[in-house]
């Protein structure tokens, strides 16, 4: 998804000259982004720490060990990991990693969209070929797994989210990124904003129709989705030799 989207937004990395915004921000160098989601798959090349310096000394977070997650799964890119399984019943625990490891994929997707390292030669079976990377490819990641696979949909408990907000504030994140649809946590995020942390929410996936966006507290940044200038035309030849695109 990111082989075109950041260029489409004017955050060009490869074209000369590179985006002035990227240059001025030093590509997110040493900014700590807290991701609240379904966890992360640390083996992805998007989370390689090759070329990174030491973890910023102001970081106070932890690398919480758990199922399928040991101390080597944190590095100089993924500098912190926590998970919040309180409230899950035994069956749900059996269907999830009891760690920050992502079984769903959504958290890995959002983490790499925000801060994925530059990965060359990415495509989906030859489609959308290019360079995959996050908006701030040099930023560090702190992962807070607050959402878990349920019987029908992802489960997100308000107690887990609020506990994670408290931890993230203490840990020393600079930005919180929450691609979750949840409306009763806005006062938790207000505490983060009062501490100087920028809080960014997704607006949800509903629409297009009026009044469907989520996470509209005035002290957070709420990001909606747009179309993109990319398509994958495919010629299909029917049995009567008619070809359509």
Terminal-to-terminal C-alpha distance of the chain: 22
Rounded to an integer, the average pLDDT of 148-173 is 92
- Residues 107-145 have pLDDT tens digits of 999 999 999 999 999 999 999 999 999 999 999 999 999
- Spell out the domains of the chain, with CATH numbers in brackets: 5-244 (3.40.50.200)
DSSP state of 55: P
Q: Is the pLDDT reported for residue 157 higher than 70?
A: yes
Q: What is the pLDDT of residues 72-113, one digit of tens each?
A: 999 999 999 999 998 888 889 999 999 999 999 999 999 999
DSSP 3-state helix, strand, coil percentages of the chain (rounded to 5)? 25, 25, 55
Question: d(Cα 122, Cα 133) in Å, to the nearest integer?
Answer: 10
pTM to 2 decimal places = 0.93
CB atoms within 10 A of CB 225: 10
Q: Which residue has the higher pLDDT, 48 or 11?
A: 48
Tens digit of each residue's pLDDT (9 = 90 or more) over 168-212 = 999 999 999 999 876 655 688 999 999 999 999 999 888 888 888
**Whose CA is closest to 225, among 243, 239, 212, 241?**
212
The pLDDT value given to residue 244: 97
């Amino acid at each position: 998804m990111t082989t075109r989207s950041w260029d489409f937004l004017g955050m060009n990395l490869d074209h000369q000259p590179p985006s002035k915004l990227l240059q001025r921000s030093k590509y997110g160098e040493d900014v700590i982004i807290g991701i609240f989601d379904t966890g992360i798959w640390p083996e992805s090349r998007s989370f390689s720490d090759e070329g990174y310096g030491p973890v910023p000394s102001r970081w106070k977070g932890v690398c919480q060990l758990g199922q399928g997650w040991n101390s080597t799964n944190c590095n100089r890119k993924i500098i912190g990991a926590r998970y919040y399984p309180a409230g899950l019943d035994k069956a749900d625990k059996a269907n999830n990693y009891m760690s920050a490891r992502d079984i769903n994929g959504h958290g890995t997707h959002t983490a790499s969209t925000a801060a994925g390292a530059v990965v060359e030669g990415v495509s989906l079976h030859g489609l959308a070929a290019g360079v995959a990377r996050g908006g701030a490819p040099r930023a560090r990641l702190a992962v807070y797994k607050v959402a878990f696979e349920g019987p029908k949909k992802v489960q997100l408990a308000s107690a887990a989210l609020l506990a994670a907000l408290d931890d993230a504030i203490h840990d020393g994140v600079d930005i919180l990124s929450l691609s979750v649809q949840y409306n009763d946590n806005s006062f938790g995020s207000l505490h983060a904003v009062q501490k100087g942390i920028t809080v960014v929410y997704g607006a949800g996936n509903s629409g297009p129709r009026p009044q469907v966006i989520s996470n509209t507290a005035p002290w957070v940044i709420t990001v909606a989705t747009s179309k993109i200038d990319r398509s994958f035309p495919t010629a299909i030849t029917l049995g009567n030799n008619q070809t359509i695109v």
